């Protein structure tokens, strides 16, 4: 798998506003926020897409969701609520091929997220 911008963030080769880190995961603010709180929670081990998650990755992927809850409790929006999203491939809107959980919070979010969009020219 080729290196993505998220590996560069993990390795501190490019800056990011990091809000959480442990031995398996990193969370940082999305550069183009879609809600008052928009964080990306990523495994330090690169996995390209949700399709590439294996049984061996169950622990680390579950850990990403635990980290989301930890941040929500720590930052005081757990009870108000939030949304966790993992986009997969083109129709899912994935643009960075290192899995990540989007954590969106800070105001009531709309549903469904569907908007008309042409397939990207990947």
32 touches ligand 5GP by CB under 6 A:
yes
Residue whose CB is less far from ligand 5GP, 55 or 122 = 122
38, 63, 98, 100: the catalytic one is 100
105 touches ligand 5GP by CB under 6 A:
no
Question: Does the active-site annotation cover 38?
Answer: no
84 to 103: interface string for ligand 5GP, x by CB under 6 A: ---x-----xxxx-------
Alpha helices of the chain — where are they, by DSSP H? 5-10, 58-75, 89-92
Q: How far is CA 113 from CA 10, 16, 62, 104, 117, in A?
A: 29, 26, 24, 12, 12
List all residues 6 or more positions away from 63 whose beta carbon is below 8 Å from its beta carbon.
24, 25, 43
31 touches ligand 5GP by CB under 6 A:
yes
**Would you name the residues annotated as active-site residues?**
100
């Amino acid at each position: 798998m080729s290196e993505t911008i998220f590996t560069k963030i993990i390795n501190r080769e490019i800056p990011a506003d990091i809000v959480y880190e442990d031995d398996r995961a990193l969370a940082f603010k999305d550069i183009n926020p879609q809600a008052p709180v928009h964080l990306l929670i990523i495994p330090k081990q690169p996995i390209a897409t949700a399709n590439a998650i294996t049984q061996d990755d169950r622990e680390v992927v579950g850990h990403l969701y635990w980290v989301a809850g930890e941040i929500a409790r720590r930052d005081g929006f757990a009870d108000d609520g939030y949304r966790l999203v993992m986009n997969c491939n083109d129709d899912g809107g994935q643009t960075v091929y290192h899995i990540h959980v989007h954590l969106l919070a800070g105001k009531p979010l709309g549903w469904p997220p569907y908007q008309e969009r042409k397939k990207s020219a990947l």
